[in-house]
Amino acid sequence: MNRRHFLGHTAAFAAAPIVADEKQTRVIDCNLHLGRHPNRDLPQVDSAFLSKHHIDQAWAGSFEALLHRDIAAVNQRLAVACKHQPRLRPAGSIHLLLPAWKDDFNRCVDTHGMNILRLHPSHHGYTLDDPSFTQLLELASARQVLVQIVTQLEDQRTQHPLTQVAPVDLKPLTEIMKRVPSARVMLLNANAAMVTKTLQGSTNLWLDMAMIEGVGGVENLLKSWPTEKLCFGSHAPFFYWESSALKLQESVLTSEQLVAVQQGNAQALL
């Protein structure tokens, strides 16, 4: 096959639109971060960033929540940042091993009006079978708050040696969610192995796709995971935003699946 033949008979020219076309479908990105990362200098998520990537709405947590102990101040700064950028929806962080963490929950929900909360179990040093996690789910369920669990932030092989954390062990999750059936949980940065091993059949559980890997990875995941439980997430700016966008182009998805993953499922969640 010569090059002209290749270009004529493949979707080569379709590669550009997902990262550059002004008419591209707009997305809700469930997995963005603001604030300073502890050991990387990353681009700012600002209005220009959102516009460049056609992001209608982004659910933003804060990198500062990973290591800061004054998490109330982290959430306060996040709330202020999101007030200045209407496309950002703040996902405040709760650290379940801090004294009086329920006050942080109340401040996030009542003072800041947040309806998404983000947990970092590995960075904060607890497992999902910690009783406080079930308590948090009960509180969130009562207030109709979506709980995002960051299952991992970075490949263990490349982590800074002084901040090494393992992925969250998801095995207890299915049983815990049976005890709080109305709780809604979204796993961020889960990979396909984590999901297929432990979470098949779980209800009220959503995933983002930032760390769904392998050739045709999203398409393959959807052979065993319900489309309505998968949402677009980029893990930007830690990851190049284009990674998740191009995954949707690489996988063979119906137009209904595409719309659901890019926007519809996230819209329905809130």
Nearest distance from residue 166's CB to other proteins, in Å? 10
Q: How many Å apart are CA 182 and CA 137, to the nearest integer? A: 9
Query: Which CB, 100 or 162, lies closer to other proteins?
Result: 162
Enumerate the β-bridge partners of residue 147. Answer: 117, 185
Q: Specify the stretch interacting with other proteins by CB under 8 A; choose among 65-73, 152-160, 170-178, 254-262.
A: 152-160
Residue 22 binds other proteins (CB under 8 A): no
Residue 181 binds other proteins (CB under 8 A): no
Interacting residue with other proteins among 36, 42, 46, 197 (CB under 8 A): 42
Per-residue binding string, other proteins, 118-147, x by CB under 8 A, is ------------------------------
Q: Specify the stretch interacting with other proteins by CB under 8 A; choose among 75-83, 141-149, 236-244, 262-270.
A: 236-244
Task: Give the DSSP letter string of 140-190.
Answer: HHHTT-EEEEE--SS-GGGS-GGG--PPP--TTHHHHHHHSTT-EEEEES-
Query: Which CB, 130 or 242, lies closer to other proteins?
Result: 242
Interacting residue with other proteins among 25, 130, 239, 264 (CB under 8 A): 239
Long-range contacts of 46-54 (CB under 8 A, 24+ apart): 46/85, 47/85, 47/87, 49/236, 49/237, 49/241, 50/85, 50/87, 50/88, 53/27, 53/29, 53/234, 53/236, 53/241, 53/245, 54/24, 54/25, 54/26, 54/27
Interacting residue with other proteins among 86, 125, 131, 216 (CB under 8 A): 216
Residue 214 binds other proteins (CB under 8 A): yes
Q: How many Å apart are CA 210 and CA 201, to the nearest integer? A: 21
Query: Which CB, 139 or 236, lies closer to other proteins?
Result: 236
Query: Which CB, 152 or 263, lies closer to other proteins?
Result: 152
